[in-house]
Chain A
Amino acid sequence: MKMKKINQKILTFFGIENTSIARSIMKFTEVGLVFAMGLFVWELLKLLMQTEGPVVVVMSGSMEPGFSRGDILFISNRNHHYKSGQIVVFKTTQQNIPVVHRIISVFTDANGKEKILTKGDFNKYPDQSLYDHKNGQYFLEQEHIHGVIWGYIPKIGSLSLLANEKNYFKPIGFILIAILGFFGFE
């Protein structure tokens, strides 16, 4: 194991003999490394896709049968010109949860601003009822859109949905990860 060797070197550098304390420290560094790796991938995605939230978990069935609850979607915010057919993530002042729906119209108004209309594949009608239509918002504009979906992995996000919706899931999950992390490494 390469990682073990490196850890051994770090320990000897700090003058720690290979005792049980040293071994615990080693385990912590190993667990830490795994977390750091995850964080690295996350930050890299953020940087490459120029968005604060490069990944989203599907929360509703409004894009069935393409996307179901618990599927994971990857978001890019590199291009700010939109075309119909693209699936975008948007938020309006009306509601705070991000919605993932498909663009069905892009109009350009007299000032050159894009006016965008979306609809869920499974829904019968466009999204105007989701917009802030009481304040005269019948279309989305650039600022409401957080990005375009470019990638898809099914089902894996169900875990995060469980964690959000079932109170017992989070503590159990943390304890399991902690046990595996601490006792699982050789």
Chain B
Amino acid sequence: MSSPAAGAATKSLIAFGKKERKMLFDPMLDNNPITVQVLGVCSALAVTVQVNRAIVMALALISVLVFSNVIISMLRKLIPPSIRIIIMLAVIASLVIIVDQVLQAFLFDISKSLSVFVGLIITNCILLGRAEAFALANPPWQSFLDGVGNGMGYGIILVVVAALREILGSGTFLGFHVVPQIAYDLGYMNMGLMVLAPGAFILLGLLVWVQRTVTGYRE
């Protein structure tokens, strides 16, 4: 990852030019963390049975990612390279503890249903991946944008997968019934497979196919 021009940073600390716009919007489609960079797939599959869980998980990840990117970027000149992984893990783990405590305090039911996956944000590859590849080499404002962009890219995939799984698997969206009763009367049935683990794998595989057909990315 090339470091952004030092000149731009001295001109204005929070410039928002073409380069910054690219940093923010690129990870949402063309360089999506899940479907292109293949980072953070675990939780993308596990928490997508219902849309509301996916939204909470995405918000939790975005807040941890943004803060960890900014903090690590501010510390980047102080961190000795040999122990950087453990420092990044310490920063990320502390942020995840805060998020977990907040969720337990205000959204206890969802926090229970997310079970271990909030804790597993610590080992979510997006966090270490972005810290290592971006925040260690770039100033805080750019790292902030990179964090928001990658977090949103992750969140978009999460919500799309969750919406498809919830509609196809349970016939609901955010808990409201969207498949009309008449469809069930005519013999329509919910696809039980979508609620189970294999449904998530297959759906994400198909989504990757669609996304790569649109963007033209090839491995």
Binding partners A and B: no
What residues of chain B have their CB less than 8 Å away from a CB belonging to chain A? none
What residues of chain A have their CB less than 8 Å away from a CB belonging to chain B? none
